[in-house]
Amino acid sequence: MADLPSQARVVIIGGGAAGCSAAYHLARMGWTDVLLLERNELTAGSTWHAAGNCPNFSASRDIMRMQAYSVRLYERLAEEVDYPIGYHQTGAVRLAQSRTRLDEFRHVAAMAAALRLELEVATPAELKAHMPHMELHGLEGGLWDPKDGHIDPAQLTQSLAKGARDAGVRIRRFCPVTAIAPRPSGEWEVTTPDGVVIAEKVVNAAGYYATDIGQMVGRAVPSAIMEHQYIVTDDHPALAGAADMFPMLRDPDDSYYLRQEGNGLLLGPYEKKATPAWGGGAHRPDDFSFELYSDDLDRLEWYIESACARVPILAEAGVRSVVNGPIPYTPDGNPLIGPVPGLENFFECCVFTFGIAQAGGAGRVLAEWVTEGRPEWDMWACDPRRFTDYTTPEYCQAKAVEVYAHEYAMHLPYLEWPAGRPMKTSPLYDRLREKGAQFGDRGGWERATWFARPGDDVEGDRGFDRPGWYDAVAEECAAVAERVGILDLPGFAKFEVSGPAAAGWLDNLITGAMPKPGRIALSYFCNEAGKIITEMTITQPESGIFRLTGPAPGEWHDRDWLERHLPTDGSVTLRNVTKDFGTLVLAGPRSRDTLARVNNADLSNLAFRWLSARHIEVAGIPVFAMRVNYVGELGWELHAPVDSIVPLYDALTAAGADHGIRDFGAYAMESLRLEKCYRAWKQDLLAELSPFNASLDRFVRLGKENFIGRAALIAEEEEGPKQRFVPLLLEDDVREAPFGAPVSRASQCVGYVSSAGYGHRIRMPIALAFLDADVCKEGTQLEIEIFGKRRSAVVATEPLFDPDNARLRS
């Protein structure tokens, strides 16, 4: 065996499908000084026992793009690297036993069409034509994916490894990593039994051992491990004599997949009684390579009976083998791909629940992160920084059990998954719950979504029609528009910036102007390519000290961006004060009257203008008051120390009692912000889009001497953005446009919906969309495909409500 190299530009830890795909794609991008280290043989983790299914289907636009890339890669890979991969594109039928499930399929098929993927909604008879062995009882219809299929996981991994080796990547098997340490240079010392390697960058692709690698660098990788069983049958004559393999079958309502395996069948259920691996304990064997758990067919009995009724030939074949192996899960079921929070030059490409389907695309995304500092697509759905410090081992296991048990569940709007919660709460949590608050998880923080009235059904029908809380939210919106509303918003990411160079440093990070003392600036941060990194409000409460406020889920994301750009000379100090302050929003035409009752400050327009901020006292409590909000009414954001939030809330609700003050929640805020066309981070503000794409031209000052992304934005302005953000108004219906719904003109797709909902003040459905620039003129007639129905939409001008901002300025 050759000596272990003492240096490498990139060290990848883990030789499964994801790690080898990362190596392959790095080599394809010209980075061949790569060393892949595997503790055992390639594929020894979750890869070797994977079923190898390769769907395009996903309810997430980002995940669908990633999986579709995998499918396209696997179609050409064997020829490209001259290695057989056992890839069978049999097509797949996906069954719908309810109209709601069929609606989900209609949406996914429409979203796929916008991405130039062929998914076809089918009748039961059409499904039968694709899959003759199937019975049709209980079906409303289904989905046909002609590109679906399965692949040999071991051959796939070996082919990716061969492609990487052929380009110069070094792969070392039977070489476990035992320690990792940072060097002052920013490099990493990677220790193995065969020696130490100095790496410029490290990638954790260690599968269900990713947590062990993370512990070496102080990173608690948010994951838990589940058992997953599937059975393989003996050969069946009906299959042995067939000219072609029959299609994959997925019955999500009965929670299993079924496909041909050789001349037998492979059945894989996702059990409702999900089973954590190794008894759910923290201890894992030092080496579980090529090992399995004991099978437990009793757990599968119901699913086997259901599948036999659906495909009777399954009942005619005996069981040849049972595979019960470990599969890692993050709390939301999506993998970790990208920079590790808080670390430089350290990346993750791990915790894949569907590793074979996603490995090809994941390798591309990871390679782009490493080589270019950003992927082509906004991949927040997989970004490791989407989880913060609330992902304890107990939480991760509770969410893994929940996700596994609902692996085929419908991704219905407004469904707030309950397991493991609450983790982060406002001091007002219990008080609001007593008042009927229903809660949702926003970046680990519990936020009130709506307030149930006496007699309201808090469970309700969670389909795609307007939900049972629709009228309650309408009342909350009316209270904000006509009187005064109060909203608890815990968890805003908050940073304090100070130091002699603070103003100039921040000015170099944002596209617009810095705020003057006492003023507020809504600011956009771009990367060198001119794409949006984040949005934050910046205030200067006193000369030389700045407060930055950003989205709660973006705390670690924004912190890392700011820290990465800090001057090394100590001239700028950055403090994360997220946990120190809470926020109450007071908004509505009577908000000034309410606030005036509990403080002595002059709140008039002349003294306290819109987009200004200052320190005041409210009922004796020190408050940083910002005259700005996300709902488009006269109002304030009131930032106060966390331990003062309860008395502050009590003082305001008492002061507003005569004015009809009412609590409102996140769903009402969503409706109100849509009417103002305020962008939502990671819905309307994506890292693959520029401020010009997002129609935020007024926040870009190209005349500034310098800021990150300026050159790219100058070039884009000269050429003209290809896409623009515009609001659309729709004909009324009981269903809103879902995220990713395609927008078309004359049957040609011209964009997609990024946010949508009902505007209770204007009493119309709204869709915010990114469209081809040539169709963005006001009054242009378009169509949006919403659950299989084409609905008329017209391009409008933002904002849709109070276009002159008279209410905000009042």
What confidence score (pLDDT) does residue 510 get? 98
How would residue 300 be classed by pLDDT, with cut points 50, 70 and 90?
A: very high
Q: What is the DSSP string of 80-92?
A: HHT----EE---E
In this prediction, residues 349-368 reach a mean pLDDT of 97
CB 348 within 8 A of CB 337: yes
What confidence score (pLDDT) does residue 542 get? 85
- Among 130, 14, 684, 613, which Cα is nearest to 363's? 14
The pTM score is: 0.97
What confidence score (pLDDT) does residue 346 get? 98
Residue 427 scores a pLDDT above 60: yes
Give the separation between CA 673 and CA 612, rounded to whole angstroms. 20
Q: What is the DSSP string of 697-762?
A: GGG--TTSS--TTHHHHHHHHHH--SEEEEEEEE---S-PPPTT-EEEETTEEEEEEEEEEEETTT
Residue 287 scores a pLDDT above 90: no
Residue 642 scores a pLDDT above 70: yes
Which class is 722-810 in CATH? mainly beta
What are the φ/ψ torsions at residue 305 (nearest 5 degrees)?
Answer: -65, -40
Residue 282 scores a pLDDT above 90: no
Residue 461 scores a pLDDT above 70: no
Helix, strand or coil, per DSSP, at residue 396: helix
- Among 561, 497, 517, which Cα is nearest to 535's? 561
How many angstroms separate the Cα of 123 from the Cα of each of 120, 259, 312?
Answer: 10, 20, 20
Residue 610 scores a pLDDT above 80: yes
Domain spans of the chain, in order of start: 1-85+150-222+330-387, 722-810
Residue 2 scores a pLDDT above 90: no
What confidence score (pLDDT) does residue 757 get? 97
How would residue 283 be classed by pLDDT, with cut points 50, 70 and 90?
A: low
Beta strands in 500-555 (DSSP E): 520-526, 532-542, 545-550
Which class is 1-85+150-222+330-387 in CATH? alpha beta
How would residue 1 be classed by pLDDT, with cut points 50, 70 and 90?
A: low
- In 3-state terms, the chain is what percent helix, strand and coil (to 5)? 30, 30, 40
For 502-525, the pLDDT digits (tens) are 999 999 999 999 999 999 999 999
Tell me what the pLDDT averaged over the chain comes to.
96
How would residue 280 be classed by pLDDT, with cut points 50, 70 and 90?
A: low
For 40-95, the pLDDT digits (tens) are 999 998 999 999 999 999 999 999 999 999 999 999 999 999 999 999 999 999 99
Residue 463 scores a pLDDT above 90: no
In this prediction, residues 244-268 reach a mean pLDDT of 96
Q: What percentage of the chain carries pLDDT values higher than 90?
A: 93
State yes or no: cis peptide before 418, omega within 30 of 0: no
